[in-house]
Structure 1
Amino acid sequence: MSSREFDLILFGATGFVGRLTAEYLTTALPEGARVAIAGRTIEKLVDTRAELGPIAANWGLVVADSSDPTSLAAMAARTKVVVTTVGPYLRYGRGLVGACAAAGTHYADLTGEPLFIHDIVERYEGIALETGAKIVNSCGYDSIPSDLSVYEIYRATVADDTGELEDTTLVASLKGGMSGGTIDSGRAMMEDVAADGKRARILAHPYSLSPDRALEPDLGRQSDQAFARAASIDPSLDGWVTTFIMAQHNTKIVRRSNGLLGWPYGKQFRYREVMSAGRSKAAPLVAAGVAGGIVAGMASGAVLSRVSLGRKLLDRILPKPGTGPSEAARKSGWFQMRTFARTSSGAKYEATFAGKGDPGYQATAVLLGHAGLSLAFDELPARAGILTPAAAMGEALTDRLRGAGMTIEVKRA
């Protein structure tokens, strides 16, 4: 792809998260990088490029629309990598994946939608394998910290020769807001399930994104629901944990990585994610409330999504896509993911993945930006197809994110 016009095109650069990603790229690009921003209208693209400052003055401008296959194909053919923030991907993402797969163009997105990934695996996996395209999903807070934390623990077990991974739990702590885009993605999935009830099985099954479900172990029920004392995960933890709203997606990504890499984590690898509810006297009530509230919220959302009046109500009460917090609020956010793992030999490991900035906005811009840069410039495994961050980029992405100031550490307990 060395003859292509651009190294990287950012599609959706005029949107909220797209703009944040573009701003970050102005600080992180290697010298000589050929970049373009893409969107539906040239006027907005011109304004966005001007607002990004002198570093972006020579960036290209590409007009493309998710509803126009011809424009998507033309865009994909001009670049090594397309990075897209245009979601919900169930509604707007399939065409771009198809264009990139056909052109042999690498691709990175922010999806937290298992139904979308399931669909593009069925439609475009074979094409991407033929052309060599790396189609990498979930390159933001969902699900790079989860995926790379387990991958780095696995690398430590290989170095120490301590056997395969078994029970592994991630505990999430964070300060940040729920983005309108994330909520809209959830709505897109609920509407999809409302239209076809069989699609709920994809959300419920722990191995629905596995590259070969027949080779996955039968480990019994692996629930994403949680309400427990933190010490039940590791004695070093205090307080309570509860259901983590992104666990249903992140756990599938991590399990898919295991399969794509040839199941090196182990056939008895059992993975779950929870969220810290704190240590106060009210923590048990908070934990129970969050766990119950997520279940109730998803159930009520699914019901409302079935009828026109319910969808109109959701339109009125939920945050709109493309909206987000102030710059001060974004900078005050943070996240810390601690992953506790035990191996078949009894060895224990703890990984920490932490970063500054609102995880869904500020931190995600860094994560997605470096995913795109890694696909464009790093020497990566020859693996192609519909991939995860760990399977596509692995330690190259870990090194980039450490260099960007994020903490990624693994220690043996």
Structure 2
Amino acid sequence: MSERYDIVLYGASGFTGAYVLEAIAKSADTNVRYAVAGRSESKLKATLKDVSTRVDKDLSKIPIIIADSGDESTLAAMARQAKVIINVVGPYRLYGEAVVKAAVENGASHVDISGEPAFLEKMQQKYGELAAQNKVYIVGACGWDSIPCDLGVNFLKQNFGGTLNYAETFVQLHTGES
């Protein structure tokens, strides 16, 4: 392949991956080149078929890349095909570093949905300088875990009558039968 995909969605066949794929399929303009990646070609094909139905678009021609967090060579091959990897394979403390490393070393930016502060900090400390040298980015916490907390802290900063030194947040999720 001579040109990199704009986006490679790693973990597309998982629960979160299918929702991210749906969002990409609904919003990406036709000039955005994207591929899906994961361990199982059959699961990725099934996800493409399912999301095709939900968005009323034929996604069967979306390229599939086989990559596994436990096999650095497949991650490097995936990263060499991407401008940006959106990584939705967690928990990141177990499976994330190999993907960040592959991305940064092979010229792809890395975006994840982690809500794991220790992981996020470690990746910036360990790979931030190399990312800058390679003119790529490591962007963490672009997901549900971080958004309510970030919004809450911004609200406090704007509305708190003094200097904000510390804030602790928690989220409680209640679901019904659906």
After TM superposition, the score normalised by the length of structure 1 is: 0.37
Residue 13 of structure 1 and its aligned partner are, at CA, apart by 0.8
Paired residue for 2:24? 25
Contact conserved, 2:124 with 2:138, CA < 8 A, in 1? no
Hey, what's the Cα distance between the residues in 2 that align with 1:10 and 1:58? 15
Q: In the alignment, is the contact (CA less than 8 A) between 1:6 and 1:78 conserved in 2?
A: yes
Q: Distance in 2 between matches of 1:26 and 1:108?
A: 18
C-alpha spacing 1:30/1:68, structure 2 compared with 1 (3 Å): same
In 2: Cα distance, 1:55 partner to 1:33 partner:
15
Would the alpha carbon gap of residues 271 and 58 (structure 1) be closer, same or farther in structure 2, given more than 3 Å must change? farther
Aligned pair 1:272/2:167, yes or no? yes
Change (3 A) 1:13 1:169: same
Taking the aligned partners of 1:120 and 1:275, their CA distance within structure 2 comes to 23
Following superposition, the deviation at residue 14 of structure 1 comes to 0.8
Q: Measure, in 1, the Cα distance between the counterparts of 2:66 and 2:170.
A: 41
| Residue identity matched to 2:107 | G
Q: Aligned equivalents of 1:55 and 1:108: distance in 2?
A: 26
The equivalent position to 1:141 in structure 2, one of 141, 144, 149, is 144
Structure 1: 5+ residue stretches without partners? 154-166, 171-232, 235-267, 277-289, 291-324, 330-413
Moved over 4 A (4+): 148-151, 273-276
Contact 2:115 2:143 in 1 (8 A): no
2:74 aligned with 1:71: yes
Q: What is the rounded CA distance, in whole Å, between the counterparts of 2:145 and 2:170 in structure 1? A: 14
Q: CA deviation at 1:26?
A: 1.5
Residue type matched to 1:48 in 2? T
Counterpart pick for 1:168 among 153, 157, 161: 157
Distance 2:131 2:31 in 1: 28
TM-score w.r.t. the length of structure 2 is 0.82
Separation in 1, partners of 2:4, 2:129: 26
Q: Pick closer, same or farther for the CA change 1:147–1:275 going to 2, 3 Å.
A: closer
1:96 aligned partner: 99
Per-residue Cα deviation, 1:136-171 (whole angstroms, up to 9, x for no partner)? 0010122235446767x8xxxxxxxxxxxxx7389x
Question: Does the CA contact (< 8 Å) of 1:26 and 1:55 recur in 2?
Answer: no
Of the two, which has the highest radius of gyration? 1
How many equivalent residue pairs? 170
Instruction: State the shift of 1:132 in Å.
Output: 1.3
Tell me, in whole angstroms, the C-alpha distance in 1 between the residues paired with 2:63 and 2:151: 32
8 Å CA contact 1:168, 1:270 repeated in 2? no
1:69 positional shift: 0.4
Confirm or deny: 8 A CA contact 1:39 1:62 kept in the other structure.
yes
Measure, in 2, the Cα distance between the counterparts of 1:90 and 1:20: 22
Q: How does 1:117-266 map to 2 (within 5 A)?
A: 117-147=120-150, 168=157
Shift of 1:118: 2.6
In 2, Cα distance between equivalents of 1:114 and 1:24: 25
More strand by share: 1
Aligned mates of 1:269, 1:128 — CA distance in 2: 32
In structure 2, what is the Cα distance between the partners aligned to 1:35 and 1:86? Answer: 17
1:399 alignment partner in structure 2 = none
CA contact (8 A) 1:13 1:19 kept: yes
Q: Would you say the 8 A contact 2:120–2:141 is kept in 1? A: no
Please give the secondary structure, in 1, of the residue aligned with 2:157. strand
Higher relative contact order (CA 8 A, sep 6+): 1
